[in-house]
Amino acid sequence: MFENISQKQVELLNQELIVPIAVSDITTYDLVIEPDMQYGLHMALSEIDPDSALLAIALCIPSIADKAMEDAPIAAILKNEAKNLINDYAPTWLYHHQNPPLSEENYFNIMKHVPEDLESLADLLDVLCSEIDDEDSIIHVLANLLSIQARAHMDIAEFVLSELKNKQSGDFNGISIEEVTAIEATSEKPQNHDNIILFPGTNA
């Protein structure tokens, strides 16, 4: 399925980003997505960097698309777009995850296409929602949730890129990774809620 990364690397990405495992459990076992579970998924996605969120969302999509393939023509296109983005971003993400720290210049180079790629996924997820009649179905709920997070991270990524560009001079003088973290910490997040469930398919 993937050209630039191995299955072992895909498994590592899933473990590090958490949400794809939860979404796979939901689609595999047809779990009811309670509000607490939705909140947990929103929080898990909202608390990571935009490039990590892009990968997490893309990794969630194959299990959703496979389940929607018979009812939604867009599912195959969505799955292919997700696969392409995983192939594009995963090798660099894994390298920098395993070889910190990430320089500001490298961060800028990673981020420069993230907003448009997040928007592309959000648009396709919205089309998928429009092709699923049952708004309470697993497919519709998950696709809508991922679209919301993709657009939220798109806004964050655009702001970060704008700040980085504003601080560039003859040499690269971007904002620090610490400042990026501060920006993300002030982004809009779901309201506080009890009993967060991040791993719906695991046993207590």
Tens digits of residue pLDDT in 50-74: 999 999 999 999 999 999 999 999 9
Q: For residue 1, what pLDDT band results from cuts at 50, 70 and 90?
A: low
* Mean pLDDT value of segment 23-33: 97
Q: How confident is the model at residue 199 (pLDDT cuts 50, 70, 90)?
A: very low
Residues 6+ apart with CB under 8 A from 36: 193, 194, 195, 196, 197
183 — pLDDT class (breaks 50, 70, 90): low
Is residue 181 in a domain?
A: yes
Could you tell me if residue 198 is inside a domain? no
Helices 177-185 and 138-166, axial angle in degrees (round to 10): 130
pLDDT of residue 31: 96
CB neighbours (10 Å) of residue 84?
15
Domain span at residue 139 reads 7-185
Output the pLDDT for position 167.
Answer: 76
- 164 inside domain: yes
Residue 189: is its pLDDT beyond 80?
A: no
Whether the pLDDT of residue 202 is over 60: the answer is no
Is residue 199 in a domain? no
What is the number of residues in the chain? 204
At 86-111, the pLDDT tens digits run 999 999 999 999 999 888 889 999 99
Task: List, for residues 122-173, the tens digit of each pLDDT value.
Answer: 999 999 999 999 999 999 999 999 999 999 999 999 999 998 888 775 444 4
Domain assignment of residue 195, yes or no? no
Instruction: Say if residue 24's pLDDT is above 60.
Output: yes
Which of the pair, 167 or 12, is modelled with greater confidence? 12
Using CA atoms of 2, 86, 77, 189 in order, give the dihedral in degrees to the nearest 10. 150
Please tell me the distance from the alpha carbon of residue 22 to that of residue 53, in angstroms, as a whole number.
14
Can you read off the two tokens belonging to residue 62? Answer: 């194959």
Q: Is 173 exposed, middle or buried (0-12, 13-18, 19+ CB in 10 A)?
A: exposed
Q: Is the dihedral of CA 2, 105, 95, 119 positive or negative?
A: negative
Q: Is residue 200 part of a domain?
A: no
Domain assignment present for residue 203? The answer is no
Q: Give the separation between CA 176 and CA 182, rounded to whole angstroms.
A: 10
Percent of the chain with pLDDT over 90: 73
Give how many domains the chain has, as a whole number: 1
In a domain, 129, yes or no: yes
What average pLDDT does the segment 189-201 reach?
Answer: 41
d(CA 6, CA 90): 10
Rg (CA), the chain: 17
What pLDDT band is residue 2 in, cutting at 50, 70 and 90?
confident
